[in-house]
Amino acid sequence: MADLSQVNPVTFNCEGGLVLNRSTFMMEPGQALELENFEPDIAGGYRRINGFSKYVSAVVPSTSDPSEKILMVATFGSKVVAARGTNIFTADAGGSSWTTVDSGRTNAGKYNFERYNFDGNDKFIVVDGTNAPTIFNTAFNATDIAPSSTGTGESTTLLVAIASGTGMSTSGGASGGTITVADTSQFASSGSILIGNEQFTYTGKTSTTFTGVDRAQNSSVAADHEVGVLISDLFPPAVAGAKFVVAFKEHMFYAGMSTNKQELVFSAPFIEDSFSVAIGAGSIRVDDEITGLKVFREDLFIFCQNRIFKLSGSSQANFSVTAVTRDIGCINGDTIQEFAGDLIFLGPDGLRTVAGTARIGDVELGTISSNVQSLFDDNLDTASEFESVVIPDKTQYRVFFTKANQAQGSTQGVICVMKGQSFEFSKMKGIKPASTDTFISAGNVIILHGDYANGFVYRQEQGNDFDGTVISGKYRSPDLTFGDAGIRKHMQRVIVNFEPESSIDADLFLRYDYESRDAVQPTAYPLDSEDVAALYGTSTYGTSSSLKGTYGGTSRPLFRQSVEGSGFAVALRVNDGAVTAPYSLKGFQLEYQTGARR
């Protein structure tokens, strides 16, 4: 019998997530050098992720090209909503057909949407970066927003006072009045303006005057106006072609119009398609191109390419914009999510948060993804699109790097999980969404994504494969030297603590000396939960597999596996063998005897 008196045990929990920015000598044993399609588990350990399956069995109809992306997937009421090509469709969850509810959306891009209720009626508004915003009621009747009047949203100041008794009219062939101002260069050649509560129209302008003026329009009342008062265009810019839409303080906000990329237009209160400044609508311009909008607590955050702003207030009278930072921006609005009490977004240097501090109105910015920065460096410049979802019951955020010419099986993403006050990461591979939505139904978190090419809408967190494709789960520990890289370790056993959720098919590998070709690498040891049932409560305990049961129940078995080989450093690998149910790797104990010094 072998002498085990000098066996040295080393035990560690699986915690810390994927770490790619530290030397293996500096990594904690529980961290991972490879963690693909595993998620840091809030219950402890690393859990192989679930798959996805069809949420509607029928393909969303294409309109011109069978490879068209799903430009939007969402839920509204009891329906699934999807956009593809030039049309918008609805279906029942689990249904087998789609119904067209809107068409003719030429050159539509990626959609953004908002669910809201301003007047006691649930509504759903969509924007696509090209066409007019469209409102749907619960019957899915579509109404395009097409204001009869649009302007520039500009303002100037009055240089010559106007008395209430000063006549200004173009009726009967009169030439109309003249209003002298500081600058008219940003106003249209004709239009409507607002001074106080009085509305004026004009038919011409010079550099400092509006000409052909009629006053007291639209039942407004002529009033005295002093030098220096503000003169505003009566209407903001058009919202057709908006990329972003969000409801905030009973106004609907629009941004991302191709001709006004720095403009934020808001509707009158409670009226998403009314834009008269006289009744509370307006516009705000920032000094950078807007890339996304997100309501957080009592503020609207305006994300730009190189800056972030915060809009506070509740109405046209007190809306104000302050800079959160003028040095960091958001590269894609589809990555902005509310996550674990913060806002998370993708910046040029990885994932960042905008966290509210204890001081009301104050914010702090932090970068959180330095452990996996190389994953972002490899994908930020080459990804054509980004998608993200939040899984709140797992305090988990997922971001996907979608590349137009890359196969789904090669498409990568990053999982971020908040555990305590820190973040842990892992890598995804094999999911290629073109659009996403997260919603909660009867307490269940439902994560949807629209496929990039095949036209299906899928539900994530379902099943054991990617709609028929094997999930490739991979874990690798750091290279463990047990405190001394110069001493050879003769490995005796590995005790594995894992938690299967059903029958699993995985393999355990030991890899010596940094996987050197000169080191003998043992073959795989099976990690198969079907053996768990055979080991417990039967007369064949400990004999049905090379894995020997030690103690613990079948829900979280603890096995002692005799192993072979030696080296100056040792690493553990676990790879899925085939289609397998999820399981969590909780921890390991490695037992070894020391050999000679190198």
What pLDDT, on the 0 to 100 scale, is given for residue 356? Answer: 55
| Mean pLDDT, range 503-521, rounded to an integer | 93
The pLDDT of residue 6 is 85
User: Measured between alpha carbons, how far is 327 from 309 in angstroms, rounded to an integer?
Assistant: 11
Could you say which of 233, 255, 283 is where a domain stops? 233
Report d(CA 377, CA 138) in Å as an integer. 43
pLDDT reading at 575 higher than 60: yes
Phi–psi pair at 551, nearest 5 degrees = -160, 170
State how far the alpha carbon of 114 is from the alpha carbons of 35, 74, 117, 298, 301, in Å.
35, 10, 10, 17, 16
| Residue 278 pLDDT > 80 | yes
Token pair recorded at residue 341:
């009490």
Instruction: State yes or no: pLDDT of 5 exceeds 70.
Output: no
What is the b/e burial string over 418-441, where b = at least 16 CB atoms within 10 angstroms of the residue's CB?
bbeeebbbbbbbbbbbbbbbbeee
| 12 assigned to some structural domain | yes
pLDDT tier at 25 (50, 70, 90 boundaries)? Answer: confident
Per-residue pLDDT reduced to its tens digit, 387-439: 999 999 999 999 999 998 899 999 999 999 999 889 999 999 999 999 999 99
Percent of residues, the chain, with pLDDT higher than 90: 82
Share of the chain above pLDDT 70, in %: 93
Q: Which of 233, 252, 268 is the last residue of a domain?
A: 233
Write down the pLDDT at residue 555. 61
**Is residue 420 situated within a structural domain?**
no
575: domain CATH number is: 2.60.120
What's the sign of the alpha-carbon dihedral 150, 154, 159, 165?
Answer: positive
Q: What is the pLDDT of residue 529?
A: 65
Residue 406, token pair as written in the block: 């890359």
Q: At residue 166, does pLDDT exceed 70?
A: yes
Q: CA nearest 157: which of 231, 96, 215?
A: 231
Task: Supply the DSSP string of 140-203, one letter for each residue.
Answer: --EEE---S------EEEBSS-B-TT-----GGG---EEEEBS--TTS-SSEEEEETTEEEEES
- Tell me if 59 is assigned to some domain: no
Within a domain: 18: yes
The pLDDT confidence band at residue 540, using thresholds 50, 70 and 90, is very low
- Distance (Å, rounded) from C-alpha 493 to C-alpha 508? 12
Is residue 533 over pLDDT 50?
no
In a domain, 215, yes or no: yes
The pLDDT assigned to 358 comes to 37
Q: Which residue has the higher pLDDT, 358 or 323?
A: 323
For the record, the structure tokens of 456 come out as: 């299906």
pLDDT of residue 286: 97
Identity at 542, one-letter amino acid code: G
Q: How far apart are CA 392 and CA 339, in angstroms?
A: 8
Look at residue 173 in the predicted model and tell me its pLDDT.
81
Q: Which of 233, 252, 271 is the last residue of a domain?
A: 233
Give yes or no for residue 548 having a pLDDT over 80: no
Say which range, 22-26, 339-343, 500-504, has the weakest mean pLDDT. 500-504
Domain range for 167: 155-233
Written as six digits, the tokens of 13 are: 């929990």
C-alpha span between 427 and 17 (Å, rounded):
10
93-105 confidence digits (pLDDT tens): 999 999 999 999 9
* Lowest mean pLDDT, pick from 70-74, 459-463, 536-540, 569-573: 536-540
Q: Which of 266, 224, 261, 227 is nearest to 241 (CA)?
A: 261
Average pLDDT of the residues of the chain: 91
pLDDT of residue 563: 96
| pLDDT tier for residue 360 given thresholds of 50, 70 and 90 | very low
pLDDT attached to residue 545: 40
Q: Quote the number of domains for the chain.
A: 2
- The rounded distance, in Å, linking the Cα atoms of 282 and 234 is 8
The answer as to whether 504 is a domain residue is yes
170 lies in a domain?
A: yes
Residue whose entry in the numeric block shows the structure tokens 């003028």: 326
Residue 556: pLDDT band by 50, 70, 90 thresholds? Answer: low
Specify if 390 maps to a domain.
no
